[in-house]
Amino acid sequence: MIFRQLFESSSSTYTYLVACQDTGVVALIDPVLETIERDLALLKELDLQLTYTIETHIHADHLTSANKLKALTDSEIVYPKQAGLPCQDISVEEGRVFRVGNIELHPLFTPGHTDHHYAYLIDNAAQKMVFTGDALLIEACGRTDFQSGDAAALYDSIQNKLFNLPNETLVYPAHDYEGRFVSTVAQEKIRNPRLGNHKSKTEFIEIMNSLDLPYPRKIDFAVPGNEACGVCPPDVPDEFRSPCEMHDQG
């Protein structure tokens, strides 16, 4: 397996490249519009042709590059089944393995940050790694105060799905804001201040309800844009417009 962790600084988003060396099938998990040139350059450097873009959920903090990558590489757009987007080519659901060549991605339905959120598990003899999207972050978790968020559902998703994975499972989140790259299930079960040390659901809900976080600066155009798989809406503010102008269709 070829694996790369890539970072976009504006939204502190991690994109993950997963490629099967045997078959040449390639996926990008949670790609970002601002970094499309970087991703295309990496694919060229590795002599790979993109096959899939895979989203953990409809993002509120950045625009996906899925639509533009499809136009440039003929890749297919993969979203959770529950998102139900007309623009998605393939739907994933829990209990149905998604194959990236010989690599098996196990979709885990983990609602709470959104009602359609998924994590993706790779579990083979050599390694266990889970791409947790915005559900479980390093010593944190995704917000639950907008976009169909539900703190109780997120608690259940993390405790019953992600914390039930083997302790040695590597945790690769969709974001980190502190310069960290990877965690483990064991570490999050102990050190996560919102969920660790057997915090109760009541305690977790109280923590989430008291965060008082600022309104997401890109949500008003990112959500509708990502519901179209990364098409820039016409009302993108000038300060965020340059990636859209750079990648306008046509």
Task: Look at strands 52-54 and 98-100 and give their pairing.
Answer: unpaired
CA-wise closest residue to 229 among 63, 25, 95, 10: 63
DSSP for 194-216 reads TTTTT--HHHHHHHHHT--PPPP
Q: Which residue has the tokens 């977790």?
A: 204
What confidence category does residue 89 fall into, taking pLDDT thresholds of 50, 70 and 90?
Answer: very high
Average pLDDT, stretch 72-80? 98
Query: Tens of pLDDT along 154-173?
Result: 999 999 999 999 999 999 99
User: What is the pTM for the complete model shown?
Assistant: 0.96
> Which pLDDT band, with edges at 50, 70 and 90, does 249 fall under?
very low
Domain extents in the chain = 2-212
Which CATH number describes the domain made up of 2-212? 3.60.15.10
The predicted structure's pLDDT at residue 247: 62
**Span between the terminal Cα atoms of the chain, in Å:** 35
CA dihedral 89, 225, 68, 74 (to 10 degrees): 0
Which of 53-62, 122-131, 180-189, 240-249 is least confident? 240-249
Q: Is the pLDDT of residue 250 over 60?
A: no
pLDDT in tens, 22-54: 999 999 999 999 999 999 999 999 999 999 999
Distance CA 117, CA 143 (A): 12
Tens-digit pLDDT profile for residues 97-123: 999 999 999 999 999 999 999 999 999
Confidence of residue 248 (pLDDT cuts 50, 70, 90): low
Q: In the predicted model, what is the mean pLDDT of residues 70-78?
A: 98
The pLDDT tens digits of the residues spanning 134-157 come to 999 999 999 999 999 999 999 999
Region for 112 from its dihedrals, namely left if φ exceeds 0, alpha if ψ lies in -120 to 50, beta otherwise: left
Share of the chain above pLDDT 70, in %: 98
CA dist 166 → 118, 138, 161, 162 (Å): 18, 17, 11, 9
Return the closest-CA partner of residue 83 out of 91, 74, 72. Answer: 91
Token pair 């179209």 is at which residue? 228
C-alpha angle 191-193-194 in degrees, rounded to nearest 5: 125
pLDDT of residue 246: 74
Tokens of 37: 């040139």
pLDDT of residue 125: 80
C-alpha Rg value of the chain to the nearest Å: 17
Quickly state the pLDDT bin for 126 (edges 50, 70, 90).
confident
Number of H helices, E strands in the chain: 7, 14
Average pLDDT for the chain: 96
Strand residue runs (E) in the chain: 2-8, 13-19, 26-29, 52-54, 76-80, 90-92, 98-100, 103-109, 118-123, 128-133, 136-137, 140-141, 170-173, 183-184
**48 Cβ partners below 8 Å, 6+ apart?**
2, 19, 24, 26
Task: List the one residue out of 92, 116, 110, 119 whose CA is nearest residue 153.
Answer: 110
Sheet strands side by side (includes 98-100): 98-100, 103-109, 118-123, 128-133, 170-173, 183-184
